[in-house]
Amino acid sequence: MDELIKTFHIDWRLLIAQAVNFGIVIFVLGVYGLKPLVRKMQQREEKIQKGVENAEKIQEKMQALEEERQEEIKKGRNKAQEIITQAEEKAEKLRQEKITKVRTEAERVIAESRAQIRSERQLMVGEVKQELGGLVALALNKITGQTIDKETHQNIIKNTIKDLQKTKIK
């Protein structure tokens, strides 16, 4: 080993001094360089961890808000459907009311028309009976060849009208 020390010119004192210097440098770097660096890295790791946790919380909140938004959309659609249904029901009710009103009006017009037709018919039947009575009296005059006095004429007309009323011309 002595030869090795002489060949490479190794000095024990210098080697120990270098080892002590190396130890001091490692110690100084460890205390003033490595520890603050490790501390900074831990702080940064904590910040990153907090950021990840916050991002997860935000993601959960966003998901909850999205679910709430979807629920509100469903509620809005349901409300809109209710409004449409109510509008359709009101429209149907209004349509039925108008149909009922039109039917009532039509029935009233028909009833009035029938009453008017009945009264006109009765009037016409009365006129026909009067004219028929006159024609019967005229025919009787022609057949008998005599003139009938007014009183007999009236009696014949009344009797003919009574007979016609019994047969009820419709």
Q: What is the pLDDT of residue 148?
A: 66
Strand spans (E) along 19-162: none
Could you read off the pLDDT of 134-158 as tens digits, one per residue? 777 677 777 776 666 777 777 777 7
The encoded tokens of residue 47 equal: 């910040």
Q: What is the pLDDT of residue 169?
A: 56
The answer for residues whose C-beta is within 8 angstroms of residue 28's C-beta and 6 or more apart is none
Q: What is the pLDDT of residue 157?
A: 73
pLDDT-flagged residues of the chain (< 70): 1, 137, 145-148, 168-170
